[in-house]
Amino acid sequence: MQLFNPKSLSLIRRIYLFTAITFLNAVFLLVIVNLLSQFVLTLWFPHTSDPLSRKYQAPLGEIYPHLDKSQIHQLLQENWRLLKFQFEPYTEFKVREFHGAFVNVEAVGFRRSLNQGPWPPQPQNYNIFVFGGSTTFGYGVSDTETIASFLQTQLQSQTPQPVKVYNFGRGYYYSTQELILFLTLLKQNQHPNLTIFVDGLNDFTYTQDEPALVPILKKYLEDDPLSFGLSKLIEPWPLTKLYSQLNSIRSAPIDFASVYYQDPQHIQQTANTYLTNTHLITTLSQHYHIQPFFVIQPVPTYKYNQQAYFFSQPESPNLEYFQKVYPQLQPKINFETRNLPRGKAGSKLETNFLWCADIQESLAGVLYVDKVHYSPYLNQQLAKCISASIHLK
């Protein structure tokens, strides 16, 4: 007994053939359109298709005179292509474990430094945790050229006790996330002797006090899961990138930065958020007998010779407004230094604010490896600014 008669089988074949040809044509057309989109991106927007080109529009030989071309390529690959984020409770994200020739990140979440100490830290060592954003992490330089590595060498000269510095700098982090990370480490029974928080740039970039990946998390929770998954699937396609580029040209973006920084009250609110975080860190530190230091970092648009700057436009529109931000922040830091809150026993909390924002005013040479990240030389000078005010006990 036949399940299908010849006429039914013929109809099924025709339907299948039509569906298969239509699907293959659609896939072929999609491939062709994406190839054309990639060609247009490369031709019209040469710095959008390659993150290395987008970041580094400057003479690399002058920025990295101590490296040859192959080493420069490997360094940039490890910094900008191979490092990936992963989820972390409370702080939202951290860099995944990675081991390369120039960049090494441990699973616990810190980047290796010169003469790196063991994890967990050993009590016979003088252990120092350094927190901050991508400038502290050291994007664009090797493990041995970060702020933490230079601090390792400079502070070791102060004491015969072994000094071990742990670089907890992370891309996009600002003082709120650093406070949460510090609290998390304390809950894990990791109690350093001293902590250093290097901030300024990101605190006045994420002025709404929301971490960088909050918009993605909001979209995931508030959108339909299917549409969110589809949007993530097509996000890396050249056609999608080309559409985003053309759409950004057609619709001029609102300059939120200029609106925000025209109002001194907004700057004061952000400064107060930063200072509140430092107070909370200080209170935790006092309980665990940890000495905290809070460093205000340099930015390329504040007291820096722009003629020595390879990068014509600031990476963040907020950068140009640091000429307004830092002059308003400095009196607050000075006030905090003179009027520190007192502990229960009546003694001052041991809090130290270090104003290192203007160290580049008297420096010559290459200070930035891209639009915001420090060269090895500036990392070394910033470490000197910090270590000059630290006297290990």
Same domain as 29, residue 69: no
Token pair of 280 as six digits: 């909370």
pLDDT for the residue numbered 248: 59
Same domain as 87, residue 35: no
Compute the average pLDDT of residues 147-154.
97
> Would you say residue 393 lies in a domain?
no
pLDDT for the residue numbered 216: 80
Q: Are 334 and 273 in contact (CB under 8 A)?
A: no
Same domain as 129, residue 4: no
> Would you say residue 249 lies in a domain?
yes
Quote the percentage of the chain above a pLDDT of 70: 84
> Would you say residue 49 lies in a domain?
no
- Per-position DSSP letters for 99-138, written without gaps between them: E-SS-EE-TTS-B--TTPPPSSPPTTSEEEEEEESHHHHT
Compute the average pLDDT of residues 298-314.
80
Q: Are 374 and 318 in contact (CB under 8 A)?
A: no
**Banded pLDDT at 99 (limits 50, 70, 90):** very high
Same domain as 168, residue 281: yes
328-349 pLDDT, tens digit each: 888 888 877 766 554 333 334 4
> Would you say residue 392 lies in a domain?
no
20-51 pLDDT, tens digit each: 899 999 898 989 988 888 888 777 765 544 45
Same domain as 11, residue 152: no
Query: By residue range, what is the domain housing residue 38?
Result: 1-44
Structure-model confidence comparison of residues 106 and 25, the more confident one? 106
DSSP H helical ranges for the chain: 6-44, 51-55, 60-63, 69-76, 134-137, 147-156, 175-187, 214-222, 225-234, 238-250, 256-261, 264-287, 322-338, 376-387
Give the CATH number for residue 135: 3.40.50.1110
Same domain as 33, residue 67: no
The count of domains in the chain is 2
Q: What are phi and psi of 293, to 5 degrees?
A: -125, 140
Same domain as 113, residue 91: yes
Same domain as 270, residue 224: yes
**Banded pLDDT at 136 (limits 50, 70, 90):** very high
**Banded pLDDT at 256 (limits 50, 70, 90):** low
169-197 pLDDT, tens digit each: 999 999 999 999 999 999 999 999 999 99
